[in-house]
């Protein structure tokens, strides 16, 4: 670190990684032996979305399965919109990803000395490598100590990305990323980081919706920052709603894993009737978009607050063995899933679109990369196949680290510090909080599982008003995390709405009452910023 012209400390690293989920952690560990790496997290290290992934990691590891079958299942779930090159690349590197995680000590569930493979909706074979029903936590529990102990990794928790520093903004010529500004919540200051390479691994944007399985950190920070810096985004209209989120007044968006249905769980109406066979021949094993729409339909048809997921017929011992985390969480809320069905509702779960990248994680901006849920590689198409997301994190983060290894880059020695002349007005915090709540509610009402042109127009109108308010706040008041997150949420919401308005068909996760049919050719929705 060196002093800049105004006396603040300029923090210099070979690589800056914003986000500590599986994608960010993988890149950090693979680069740290040869690079000085900074890992930036806006809360604690463990607060990313990866930790909450229950199901597992999709990989062809069993007899009778094949790469071709995994690719076919992914393309089918993606409603014809997956990029075949990206899908093939990621699927074929899946066994290597599992082997690397195993080598790191991740305790995947085994049966008779072999990896136990479960099955989830949309998969034609058992290919989900898992650690009971808490795979994300098991993976992160192994990787986090390594991040903390590695001498070449410096962790900056409670630091939030404010903006990317680019050569265009500094009028240096070219289009490349030079580093970042990060808000230190502990000191209230904005700090300057310089790096040869910057990796965005900030996760998705589930918090744009009122109901989500995502943690509070999922506010689209990397997508918004990349967009502001000049990167294209693609397929932002495709927001996956997980069909089965626990419905309980004291449960904050607790996910009931897809694997519960994969192991025989049945979706029921309050009177005990199954309904999924009426919606799809695959019944409970249909892809998530179909199941979520079916639940939404039945809830509205019958005026229900929730439906029920029943796996009691599998017996107490089976349930406790396969789903210990879910069993204990439900039991703590007075629900014994071995004796009674679980009340569930759909909730926003995964952002299938994001910053456009190639298969090395490279964005439109030189030396800027995006990995994990922040990125759009083309793998997920119009609907993510279950358990392909953690797989993408490891495979693309590995490819990104390999590219950086072979392209050293250089660090700009002097970068301007953030202008901290603004003055805080505490009264505005009330307005910011109100705007946050308003945004999430109208996005849920107007840009949810089922959409119409009129609903999208109403959402866009409210977003325009919020955008103007935020510009005023940002110009006149001191930076806070709430303000930064609201700015990002409004920008990402705008990308979602604009993309949805451009897609005049119903495909995958985007269902429009005004355009219920499919267009003859599947095409991605690409938005380009006007700087």
**Catalytic residue set:** 288
Residue 8: its pLDDT value, please? Answer: 58
| 131 touches 107 (CB < 8 A) | yes
The vertex-255 CA angle with 251 and 259, nearest 5°, equals 145
Q: Would you state the pLDDT for residue 222?
A: 98
**Strand partners for 13:** 195
pLDDT tens, per residue, the chain with 531 residues: 444 434 357 999 999 999 999 999 999 999 999 999 999 999 888 776 666 666 799 999 988 999 999 999 999 999 999 999 999 999 999 999 999 999 999 999 999 889 999 888 789 999 999 998 788 889 999 999 999 999 999 999 999 999 999 998 888 777 899 999 999 999 999 999 999 999 999 999 999 998 888 888 999 999 999 999 999 999 999 999 989 999 988 777 788 988 899 899 999 999 999 999 999 999 999 888 889 889 988 988 999 989 999 999 999 999 999 999 899 999 999 999 999 999 999 999 999 999 999 999 999 999 999 999 999 999 999 999 989 999 999 999 999 999 999 998 889 888 988 876 544 454 567 777 888 889 998 998 899 999 999 999 999 999 999 988 887 776 666 788 888 999 999 999 999 999 999 999 999 999 999 999 999 999 999 999 987
Tokens 């042109």 found at: 453
Rounded-to-integer distance, Cα 378 and Cα 371, Å? 12
**Half-sphere exposure of 352 toward its Cβ, with a 13 Å CA cutoff?**
35
Partners of residue 195 on adjacent β-strands: 13
Closest CA to 305 of 317, 314, 296: 296
* Residue 266 Rama label (left phi>0; alpha psi -120 to 50; beta): beta
Question: What pLDDT score does 475 carry?
Answer: 66
Q: Who's near 24: CB < 8 A, 6+ residues apart?
A: 17, 18, 39, 48, 199, 201, 371, 372, 397
Which CATH number applies to 427-515: 1.10.3720.10, 3.90.226.10, 3.90.580.10, 1.20.58.100? 1.20.58.100
How many CA atoms does the CB half-sphere of 370 hold within 13 Å? Answer: 31
**Superfamily in which the 2-237+352-406 domain is placed by CATH:** FAD/NAD(P)-binding domain (3.50.50.60)
**Structure confidence at residue 3 (pLDDT):** 42
Say how far apart CA 22 and CA 126 lie, in whole Å.
23
Query: In the chain, what are the domain boundaries?
Result: 2-237+352-406, 242-349, 427-515
Strand partners, 59: none
The single-letter DSSP state of residue 330 is H
Contact assessment for residue 377 and residue 86, using Cβ atoms and an 8 Å cutoff: yes
Helix axes 135-149, 22-31, angle to 10 degrees: 30
What is the pTM (predicted TM-score) of this model?
Answer: 0.90
Cα torsion at 360, 363, 369, 375 (round to 10°)?
Answer: -90
Q: What is the pLDDT of residue 27?
A: 98
Cα angle 451, 454, 460; round to 5 = 90
Confidence at residue 5, expressed as pLDDT on a 0 to 100 scale = 39
Class of domain 242-349: alpha beta
Residue 103 CA: distances (Å) to CA of 317, 338, 390, 515: 30, 35, 17, 49
């Amino acid at each position: 670190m060196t002093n800049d012209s105004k006396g603040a400390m300029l923090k210099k690293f070979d690589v800056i990684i914003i986000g500590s989920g599986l994608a960010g952690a993988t890149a950090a560990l693979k680069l740290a032996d040869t690079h000085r790496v900074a890992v930036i997290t806006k809360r604690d290290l463990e607060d990313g979305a990866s930790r909450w992934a229950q199901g597992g990691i999709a990989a062809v590891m069993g007899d009778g399965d094949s790469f071709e079958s995994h690719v076919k299942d992914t393309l089918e779930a993606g409603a014809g919109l997956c990029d075949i090159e990206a899908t093939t690349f990621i699927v074929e590197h899946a066994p290597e990803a599992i082997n690397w995680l195993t080598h790191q000590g991740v305790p995947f569930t085994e049966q008779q000395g072999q990896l136990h493979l479960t099955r989830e909706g949309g998969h034609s074979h058992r290919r989900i490598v898992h650690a009971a029903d808490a795979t994300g936590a098991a993976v992160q529990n192994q990787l986090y100590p390594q991040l903390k102990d590695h001498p070449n990794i410096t962790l900056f928790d409670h630091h939030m990305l404010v903006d990317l520093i680019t050569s265009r903004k500094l009028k240096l010529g070219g289009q490349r990323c030079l580093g970042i500004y990060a808000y230190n919540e502990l000191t209230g200051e904005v700090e300057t980081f310089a790096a040869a390479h910057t990796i965005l691994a900030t996760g998705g944007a589930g918090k744009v919706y009122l109901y989500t399985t995502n943690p509070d950190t999922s506010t689209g920070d990397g997508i918004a920052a990349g967009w502001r810096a000049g990167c294209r985004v693609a397929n932002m209209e495709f927001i996956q709603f997980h069909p089965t989120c626990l419905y309980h007044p004291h449960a904050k968006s607790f996910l009931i894993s897809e694997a519960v249905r994969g192991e025989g769980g049945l979706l029921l109406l309050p009177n005990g009737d199954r309904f999924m066979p009426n919606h799809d021949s695959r019944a409970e094993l249909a892809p998530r978009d179909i199941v979520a729409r079916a639940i939404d339909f039945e809830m509205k048809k019958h005026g229900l607050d929730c439906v029920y997921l029943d796996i009691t017929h599998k017996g107490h011992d089976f349930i406790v063995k396969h789903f210990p985390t879910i069993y204990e969480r439900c039991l703590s809320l007075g629900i014994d899933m071995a004796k009674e069905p679980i009340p569930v509702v759909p909730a926003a779960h995964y952002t299938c679109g994001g910053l456009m990248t190639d298969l090395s994680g490279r964005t439109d901006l030189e030396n800027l990369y995006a990995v994990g849920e922040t990125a759009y590689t083309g793998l997920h198409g119009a609907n993510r196949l279950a358990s392909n997301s953690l797989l993408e994190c490891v495979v693309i983060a590995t490819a990104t680290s390999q590219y950086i290894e072979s392209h050293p880059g250089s660090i700009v020695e002097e970068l301007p510090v953030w202008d901290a002349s603004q003055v805080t007005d505490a009264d505005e915090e009330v307005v910011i909080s109100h705007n946050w709540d308003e945004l999430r509610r109208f996005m849920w009402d107007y840009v949810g599982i089922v959409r119409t042109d009129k609903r999208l127009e109403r959402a866009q109108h409210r977003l325009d008003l919020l955008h103007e308010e935020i510009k005023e706040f940002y110009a006149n008041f001191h930076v806070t995390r709430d303000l930064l997150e609201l700015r990002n949420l409004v920008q990402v919401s705008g990308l979602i709405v604009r993309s949805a308005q451009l897609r005049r068909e119903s495909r995958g996760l985007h269902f429009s009452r005004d355009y219920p049919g499919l267009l003859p050719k599947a095409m991605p929705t690409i938005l380009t910023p006007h700087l």
